[in-house]
A and B are shown apart, each in its own frame.
Chain A
Amino acid sequence: MPFEALDFYRIEDELSSEERIIRDTVRDFVEKEFLPCVVDHIRQDGSFPMELVPKMAQLGLFGASLEGYGCAGMNAVAYGLVMQELERGDSGLRSFASVQGGLVMFPIHAYGSEEQKQRWLPAMARGEVIGCFGLTEPDFGSNPEGMRTKAVRRGEGWVLNGTKRWITNGSIADVALIWAQTDDGIQGFLVEAGAPGFEARDMKGKFSLRASITSELYLHDTPVPDGQRLPAVTGLKGPLSCLNQARYGIAWGAVGAALACFDEALRYSRERVVFERPLGSFQLPQQKLAWMATEITKAQLLALRLGRLKDEGKLHHAMVSMAKMNNVDVALQIARLARDMLGANGIVDDYCAMRHMMNLETVRTYEGTHDIHTLILGRELTGFNALF
């Protein structure tokens, strides 16, 4: 059944020809290559269609907003549209690209040495090297500055100890960017798979983001050469600046998930007959659809404006917080409403609404929870810090 993306306010007209071609190309890829296999992967617990990685790389989906080193170097709006289309497929697909590009390639590009950039970026753009981002720990999620993972100097290099949890792509990564406490503050280390004392174990039993691998990482006296420390950043601003990249992508991605759910519900409302009339001819379903369409339109405008601000260099991190918070929140509500409108059909994986709904519970939590972004916004508005 062909997908139709709602565009009530003709946002299409605001996009450049390149931006449209990029969006259509990624949409085509998701439709032809990803959607036919997504259900197989969510039926397994935590698995990703790895066979698509070379094609994703060939398309240029990894590190698409970075300049040089084999990356596409596209503007923020085009990058956002890519994230929208990927998440229209599944939040797991968007997460894969977000982690690779926004959370691992971006910090290497921004804070790495020339040697690190040459070594990792082209191979990551080609999808030959997969990366993961290790910030969260069992006891430190919203407050990463309290992290216990520690790096201490030993001889020329470093030794790392600690545990990271909830790490997307952890067990399949060739390189993990591990954030750790040092005497100088938090720093980033590129730890290679197979390093002594370094182990990844997959986390099972997820209801959400099942088409994505989530792992726990253990570092026990793991030696890391100094050449694998990101030299140009110290302190929490390192990881937070990465998250700002990825959150920007999520603001767009959430729109994609919402578009998928809305399209499905609208179609269903036309075809499903209840009490001898189409579902969509009753007032309550219409009210739901009208609300969804309005919220999607607002979210699209928020994302587009945010992208243009980013391209003009006028982005403030609290603006990203507002868009991440709002767009994921409404996408989740839209997914729930779509699920509701589908009745019993809404609970099976032939339909996408419940899959998106469950995924969006993760998206609401990671990259700064809904509440944390609310408090960031509150602090920005009032000048009072209610976070801690």
Chain B
Amino acid sequence: MKKILVCLKQVPHKDARLDVRSDGSWIQDDNIKFEINDYDTYALEEALRLKDQGEAEVVVATVGPERAAQALRTALGMGADRAIHIWDDALAETDGLGIAKALAAAAKDENFDIIFTGLMSDDANCAVTGPMLAELLGIPHITAVVKTEFKNGDVEVERELEGGALEVASLPQPCLLAVQTGINEVRYASLKGIMQAKKKPLDKKDLGELGLDAAAVAPKLTVEKIFVPPKGAGAEIIEGPADEVASKLVGKIKELGLF
């Protein structure tokens, strides 16, 4: 039986209102809605399709605070078999490498055949966790996957390149695939599945249980501040009735020799 790990992250809901915290450390996320990172839902669907095709166990894992359990339960409701929820206060300030270390510690004795991650997260956009996790586990990885085919122990993938070109590549298993959005049609969790998910195992692990400590996940990268670029800097705003705005804009474009 194939063993598949899907790493997923809970991120602010795409409809949530995002305001920067007054200290500029991160967004104000106290009372907003969260959801599974969009990229990761495609990763999960890809794993569940393998499960539908035959024998496979799908494990989902996340590093995140208490609230992130909901993302795991949703994944269990969609069909994953069990979940690993990693959290420790020391992880609150960590960076991509720290997250990858925690996931690697949880994955190392499980001998997964395939690990799926999303290409990047909708909120932080770092796109490093997957590759770092693969490196820490000493397995090959490939990113921006748009198609997978599993044959004779190898994985053949198509990945997306700049300008719409595709690249075909082959990897041995075990390996890690970081998938692009749109690669499949993600299923809805069924209401029955959500009810049954209550009975599926959800293991909570802190750093100690993973054989790590705060020092091991201390961030190498510190965020100084995040901010919304001030409006209007370097921009000229043309105001007035639509027809006047349009003709002024055309004038500007001609003046600058842009057309």
Enumerate chain A interface residues (CB-CB to B < 8 A).
2-4, 17-18, 20-22, 24-26, 28-29, 55, 58-61, 64, 71-74, 78, 82
Contacts and interface: CB of A to CB of B under 8 A. Distances in A.
Contacts of A78: 191, 195
B85 interface: no
Interface of B: 14-15, 17, 35, 69-70, 73-74, 77, 187-195, 197-198
Contact of B73 (A4, A18, A82): A18
Contacts of B189: 21, 25
B191 A82 contact: yes
A20 B70 contact: yes
A17 B188 CA distance: 17
B192 A73 contact: yes
26 contacts: A2-B14, A2-B15, A4-B15, A17-B69, A17-B70, A18-B195, A20-B70, A21-B74, A22-B191, A25-B74, A25-B77, A25-B188, A55-B188, A58-B188, A59-B188, A59-B191, A60-B191, A60-B193, A72-B190, A72-B191, A72-B194, A72-B195, A73-B192, A73-B195, A74-B195, A82-B191
Nearest to B71: A21
Contacts of A26: 191
B156 to A, nearest CB: 30
A379 B12 CA distance: 49
B70 A21 contact: yes
Nearest to B189: A25
A2 B69 CA distance: 24
A17 B15 contact: no
Q: Is the interface of A mostly helix, strand, loop or mixed?
A: helix
A330 to B, nearest CB: 25
A29 B70 contact: no
B195 A3 contact: no
Nearest to A62: B191
A58 B70 contact: no
Given A17-B69, A18-B73, A64 B191 contact: yes
A188 to B, nearest CB: 27
Contacts of B73: 17-18, 21
Given A20-B70, A21-B77, A25-B77, A58 B195 contact: no
Contacts of B193: 60
A92 to B, nearest CB: 20
A140 B174 CA distance: 69
Contacts of A74: 191, 194-195
A61 B194 CA distance: 12
A216 B15 CA distance: 43
A17 B74 CA distance: 9
A13 B181 CA distance: 32
A127 to B, nearest CB: 12
Nearest to A56: B188
Contacts of B69: 17
Q: Which of A58, A59, A73 has the most CB of B within 10 A?
A: A59
